[in-house]
C-alpha cells in the first residue's frame, strides 16, 4: 500500500506534506516552493497550467486564469458570495444546469471540482516526485465551516485527480493536530486561521491525547482577497479623482492593480510604508498615465477597519459555544498568511488576551496536520485520537418553513440521529423530505442539500402515519440520509418505504469518471 499524503488545498496556496517517521515533512514543489499558488490557467493550446507558472502569466491571460476557485466550489451562482466573486473576477463565472457556479474558459464551462482537481493533481505529482512512488490516497483539508455540498465537491475533485480522499479534515483541526503531537499536555487551543478567502476559528481541547473540537465558527467570505480589494479601491479611487478614469473596468489594469495591492499589503506587514509604482497603467488624450504613490501602514489599517472588526464576532461566538472565556484558552495558534499582518495579530491579542504561539509556520501547519492525520489513519501514529464536530445544524423542513434540527451544530462526529415525523394530510401516500444545513430557524434561509421522496406509505388519517428520518454524518462531515415508515401505534411491523434522493448540487459519478479520464490523458 502506498503512502497517504496530507494536502492543504487552500484558496490561495496549497501545500503537501507526508509523514517521515513520526514527523510531518513539507515537500518542495518542482519550482522549489514549499507552497504552490492555487491557480489554474489554460494556454492558447488549451492545456492547463498550474501553480507558479499560472500566476506568472495572469496579467497577460486574465480571462483564462482561475484563482480562488475554492470560493465557488459547492456553491450556486445565486449565492451572494459567488455574486461577489463575479463582480471582482476577470474570469467568467457561469451557471451550470443545476445552478452550480462554474467557470467559462473560451466557451467551455468547467466545474470548480475539475479546476481544483488540476491543483490536487499537481500536489500529487509533487509528492510522487519526492517519494519516487505512485500516490493514490490523500487527506485533504477544508475550512471548518464548509457544508456537506462543499465537502462532497472537494472529495469529487480528489477523485478526478486520481486520488482517493481518505479523509476530509477541518483546517483548524489539522493545525491543532500538528501543534499537539509535540505538546500533548492537557490544554485548550484557539486556532485563528485567516487565509486568502476564508476565516475560521476553532476552540479545541487536548486531553490525554484526545483532540476534541469544542466549537467552530467562521466567515467563508472574509480573507486576504478582501484586504487586497480595499487597497485596489483606494488606489483606483485616487486615480479616478486625479484622471477621471476607472481602472477597474480594464481587466489588465485591474490585474496589475491586484498584484500591486497584494505586494503592498505584504510589505506593510514588516515596513511602515511602501511605494506603489505602476507605469503605463492607462492612457488618455494627453498620453500614457502612471500610478505612483506611497502607502502607509496606518492608512491601510484605517481602510481595513471594517474587515478587521469582522474577526471579533465569530471568535466570541466560538468561545461562547465552547462554554469558555478568553481566560480559559492556553494557546492561540495563528494560521494563514494574513495573520502576518500586525493589525490582525493585534485583533487576535485583543480578543484572546494572550500572545500567539511561537514557532508555528502559518503557511505549512495545516498540511503538516493533514499528514499527521494520515499517519493516524494509516496506523503509524496510535496515541492520537481525533473527535471533530459539525459546524452547522442539519435538519429537515417542516410546516411553516421551519427547520426541524436533527443534528445540532457542534455535535461530535461521526454521529447518527433520528427523528420521527407525522403526516399532515389524510391518506398521504408519499412525503417529500427536504434536507437543509445551516443555523437559521427558517429552513429555506439555509443550504438545501437535497430532497427525498418517501413513497408507498400506507394510507392513514393525518398524523397517524409516521416517518422516521435518520441522519448519519461520517467523520468527514458528509451526510447520508435514510427514512422509513414507522407503523402507527398498533405495534404492527415496520415497513420500509422507498427513498429516492434528488441531489440539488454537484457532479454525477459518470461526470467524475469522464473528467478523471481527461485529466489522465494529459
Ligand atoms: P489560503 O489558506 O487561502 O490558501 P494562505 O494562508 O496562503 O491562504 O494566505 C494567503 C493570504 O495571505 C493572501 O491574501 C496573502 O496576500 C496573505 N499574505 C501572505 N503573506 C502575508 C504577509 N506577510 N502579510 C500580510 N498578508 C500576507
Ligand atoms: Mg489556508
The answer as to whether 453 is a domain residue is yes
Whether 456 is a known active-site residue: answer no
Q: How far apart are CA 8 and CA 363, in angstroms?
A: 9
One domain for residues 330 and 414? no
Compute, in angstroms, the gap from residue 301 CA to the centroid of ligand 1.
16
Whether 8 is a known active-site residue: answer yes
Calculate mean pLDDT across residues 10-27. 94
Per-residue model confidence (pLDDT) at position 497: 56
Q: How far apart are CA 395 and CA 411, in angstroms?
A: 13
For 27-71, write each residue's pLDDT tens digit.
999 999 999 999 999 998 889 999 999 999 988 898 999 999 999
Assess whether pLDDT exceeds 70 at residue 498.
no
Per-residue model confidence (pLDDT) at position 214: 87
Band of residue 433 on the pLDDT scale cut at 50, 70, 90: confident
Per-residue model confidence (pLDDT) at position 457: 80
Residue 200 belongs to domain spanning: 4-222+310-389
Q: How far apart are CA 162 and CA 272, in angstroms?
A: 46
Compute, in angstroms, the gap from residue 13 CA to the centroid of ligand 1.
8
CATH code at 491? 2.60.34.10
One domain for residues 87 and 62? yes
Band of residue 521 on the pLDDT scale cut at 50, 70, 90: low
Per-residue model confidence (pLDDT) at position 476: 84
Q: How far apart are CA 457 and CA 331, in angstroms?
A: 54
Write down the pTM of the prediction: 0.87
For 367-378, write each residue's pLDDT tens digit.
999 999 998 888
One domain for residues 262 and 297? yes
CB 454 within 8 A of CB 468: no
Calculate mean pLDDT across residues 346-356. 96
The residues whose Cβ lies within 5 A of ligand 2, an ion, are 10, 195
Whether 100 is a known active-site residue: answer no
CB 289 within 8 A of CB 172: no
Whether 425 is a known active-site residue: answer no
Calculate mean pLDDT across residues 132-157. 93
One domain for residues 158 and 208? yes
Mean pLDDT for the chain?
90
Angle at 351 between CA 186 and CA 192, to 5 degrees: 60
Lowest mean pLDDT segment, chosen from 38-42, 52-56, 177-181, 352-356: 177-181
Per-residue model confidence (pLDDT) at position 390: 84
The answer as to whether 507 is a domain residue is no
Q: How far apart are CA 294 and CA 520, in angstroms?
A: 48
Name the closest-CA residue to atom 8, ligand 1: 195
Query: Which residue is catalytic, options 70, 76, 122, 124?
Result: 70
One domain for residues 15 and 158? yes
Mapped to the 3 state alphabet, what secondary structure does 223-283 carry? CHHHHHHHHHHHHHHHHHHHHCCCHHHCHHHHHHHHHHHHHHHHHCCCCCEEEEEEEEEEE
One domain for residues 112 and 146? yes
The answer as to whether 514 is a domain residue is no
One domain for residues 417 and 481? yes
One domain for residues 162 and 67? yes
One domain for residues 78 and 114? yes
The answer as to whether 521 is a domain residue is no
The answer as to whether 329 is a domain residue is yes
The number of the ligand 1 atom at minimal distance from the alpha carbon of 223 is 14
Per-residue model confidence (pLDDT) at position 287: 93
One domain for residues 229 and 218? no
One domain for residues 90 and 129? yes
Compute, in angstroms, the gap from residue 179 CA to the centroid of ligand 2.
16
Compute, in angstroms, the gap from residue 423 CA to the centroid of ligand 2.
45
Task: Give me the number of domains the chain comprises.
Answer: 3
Per-residue model confidence (pLDDT) at position 495: 57
What residues are in contact with ligand 1 under a 6 Å CB criterion?
10-13, 195-197, 223-224, 262, 265-266, 269, 336-338, 340-341, 363
Calculate mean pLDDT across residues 144-170. 93
Cα–Cα distances (Å) from 37 to 214, 294, 337, in that order, read 32, 27, 12
Amino acid at each position: 500500500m502506498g503512502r497517504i499524503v496530507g494536502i492543504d488545498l487552500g484558496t490561495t496556496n496549497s501545500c503537501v506534506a507526508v509523514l517521515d517517521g513520526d514527523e510531518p515533512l513539507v515537500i518542495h514543489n518542482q519550482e522549489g516552493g514549499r507552497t504552490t499558488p492555487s491557480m489554474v490557467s489554460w494556454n492558447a493550446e488549451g492545456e492547463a497550467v498550474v501553480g507558479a507558472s499560472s500566476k506568472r502569466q495572469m496579467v497577460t491571460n486574465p480571462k483564462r486564469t482561475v484563482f480562488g476557485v475554492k470560493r465557488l466550489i459547492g456553491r450556486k451562482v445565486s449565492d451572494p458570495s459567488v455574486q461577489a466573486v463575479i463582480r471582482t473576477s476577470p474570469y467568467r463565472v457561469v451557471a451550470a444546469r443545476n445552478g452550480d457556479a462554474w467557470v467559462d474558459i473560451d466557451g467551455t464551462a468547467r466545474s470548480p471540482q475539475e479546476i481544483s482537481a488540476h491543483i490536487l493533481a499537481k500536489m500529487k505529482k509533487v509528492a510522487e516526485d519526492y517519494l519516487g512512488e505512485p500516490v493514490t490516497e490523500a487527506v485533504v483539508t477544508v475550512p471548518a465551516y464548509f457544508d456537506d455540498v462543499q465537502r462532497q465537491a472537494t472529495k469529487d475533485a480528489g477523485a478526478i485527480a486520481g486520488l482517493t480522499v481518505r479523509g476530509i479534515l477541518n483546517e483548524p483541526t489539522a493545525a491543532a493536530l500538528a501543534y499537539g503531537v509535540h505538546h500533548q499536555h492537557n490544554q485548550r487551543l484557539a486556532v485563528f486561521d485567516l487565509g486568502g478567502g476564508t476565516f475560521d476559528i476553532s476552540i479545541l481541547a487536548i486531553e490525554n491525547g484526545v483532540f476534541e473540537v469544542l466549537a467552530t465558527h467562521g466567515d467563508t467570505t472574509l480573507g486576504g482577497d478582501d484586504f487586497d480589494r480595499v487597497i485596489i479601491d483606494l488606489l483606483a479611487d485616487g486615480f479616478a479623482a486625479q484622471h477621471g478614469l476607472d481602472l477597474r473596468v480594464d481587466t489588465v489594469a485591474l490585474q496589475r492593480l491586484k498584484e500591486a495591492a497584494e505586494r503592498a499589503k505584504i510589505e506593510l506587514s514588516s515596513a511602515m510604508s511602501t511605494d506603489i509604482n505602476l507605469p503605463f497603467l492607462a492612457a488618455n488624450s494627453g498620453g500614457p498615465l502612471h500610478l505612483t504613490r506611497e502607502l502607509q501602514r496606518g492608512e491601510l489599517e484605517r481602510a481595513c477597519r471594517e474587515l478587521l472588526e469582522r474577526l471579533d464576532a465569530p471568535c466570541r461566538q466560538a468561545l461562547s459555544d465552547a462554554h469558555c472565556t478568553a481566560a480559559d484558552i492556553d494557546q492561540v495558534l495563528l494560521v494563514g498568511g494574513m495573520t502576518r499582518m500586525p493589525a490582525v495579530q493585534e485583533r487576535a491579542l485583543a480578543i484572546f488576551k494572550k500572545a500567539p504561539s511561537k514557532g508555528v509556520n502559518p503557511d505549512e501547519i495545516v498540511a503538516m496536520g493533514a499528514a499527521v492525520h494520515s499517519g493516524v489513519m494509516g496506523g503509524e501514529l496510535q496515541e492520537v485520537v481525533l473527535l471533530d464536530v459539525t459546524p452547522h445544524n442539519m435538519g429537515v423542513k417542516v410546516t411553516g418553513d421551519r427547520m426541524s434540527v436533527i443534528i445540532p451544530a457542534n455535535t461530535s462526529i461521526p454521529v447518527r440521529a433520528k427523528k420521527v415525523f407525522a403526516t399532515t394530510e389524510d391518506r398521504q401516500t408519499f412525503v417529500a423530505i427536504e434536507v437543509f444545513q445551516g443555523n437559521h430557524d427558517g429552513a429555506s434561509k439555509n443550504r438545501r442539500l437535497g430532497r427525498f421522496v418517501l413513497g408507498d406509505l400506507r394510507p392513514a388519517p393525518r398524523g397517524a402515519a409516521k416517518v422516521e428520518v435518520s441522519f448519519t454524518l461520517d467523520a468527514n462531515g458528509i451526510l447520508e440520509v435514510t427514512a422509513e415508515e414507522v407503523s402507527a401505534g398498533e405495534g404492527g411491523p415496520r415497513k420500509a418505504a422507498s427513498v429516492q434522493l434528488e441531489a440539488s448540487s454537484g457532479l454525477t459519478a459518470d461526470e467524475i469518471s469522464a473528467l478523471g479520464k481527461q485529466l489522465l490523458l494529459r
